[in-house]
Every structure is written in C-alpha cells, then in structure tokens.
Amino acid sequence: MRTNNRGQEKGTVDQIFRAAGDPHRIQIIRLLSEKRMSAGELLESLDIVQSTLSHHMKSLTEAGVVDAVKQGKWTYYTVNSESLRNAASCLTGLAELSAQTNAGQAETSEAAGEGRKAAAPSANAAPDKAAEEDRKKKGKKSKKGRKGKKS
C-alpha cells in the first residue's frame, strides 16, 4: 500500500478527484502525461509562480496522481498512470450505472405513458361533460336574471 507523508493511503479516487479539481493541476497532469518534467520545466510551461507550483505539486503527489523522483538537486515529476486509470474506471462504472438507471426509468415512463394514453379519452370526457353542465347552469341563471328584470 502506498501512503503519502501523512500516513494516508495514496491514490484513492476521492483524493484524485480533489487534487484534479483545479485548472492548473489539470494542465500539470496534461504536461506530465506527455513527458517527465522538473519543476523548472513545468514553470516555463505554466503561468504561475514557483510557490503556487509547489503547492499544486504537493497536492498532486499526496493524492498519488503524480510521482516525484529526486535526482541530485532536481526533482522530476511523472504522472501515476495507475491512479488515473482507477479514477477513469470509477467514472466509467458510474456512467454505466447511470445509463442502466436512465434506461430503466425510460422503460417505466414509456409503460406508464401507454397507460395514460389509454385512459386519456375517458379522463378528457369527464371535464368536457362538467364544462357543458356549467355552461347550461350559467345559461339558465342568465335567462332567469333577464326574465326577472323588467325595464
């Protein structure tokens, strides 16, 4: 089991998503996906200061998204492909589950819709009858009202 400097397991999906939740970190991951880079090389490619890069690299390495290898006075960074595959697998699983759920809901909605279509004529007929009766009653009232008034 890989752990970060806090003794926590590295590379858990929630840590990966949290670490990747910043546009600069996504940009760093993209750059490191192409090749191994030092902090100096990353700074040349990014529009951030060194202290900000340090903060981002700490978050990415603690989450297990990026691996750091010290060589002499330089630290070189690479993407941890296994962590990214784990996160991708999680998203794929969620997407498949969502697709199954949505398909099941669509089937249920279609079945319910067919039932509503069959019931629609009788449901619409009752309000029409009620509206017709209301019109008749109003017509009788207005006739009575006119008959009762003499000018």
Domain parsing of the chain, residue ranges: 13-79
Is the model's pLDDT at 37 over the cut of 70? Answer: yes
What confidence tier does 22 reach under pLDDT thresholds 50, 70, 90? very high
Give, for 55, the enclosing helix (H) or strand (E): helix 50-62
Query: Which tens digit of pLDDT belongs to each residue from 48-90?
Result: 999 999 999 999 999 999 999 999 999 999 999 999 998 889 8
Asked if residues 54 and 66 have their Cβ atoms less than 8 Å apart, the reply is no
Q: What is the mean pLDDT of residues 29-57?
A: 95
pTM (2 d.p.): 0.60
Dump the DSSP string for 65-132.
SEEEEEETTEEEEEE-HHHHHHHHHHHHHHHHHHHHHHHHHHHHHHHHHHHHHHHHHHHHHHHHHHHH
Is the model's pLDDT at 118 over the cut of 70? Answer: no
Is the model's pLDDT at 124 over the cut of 50? Answer: no
Fold of 13-79: Arc Repressor Mutant, subunit A (1.10.10)
Q: Which residue, among 67, 83, 80, has the nearest Cα to 12 in the 3D structure?
A: 83
Tokens of 82: 């296994």
pLDDT of residue 20: 87
144: Cα separation from own chain's centroid: 64
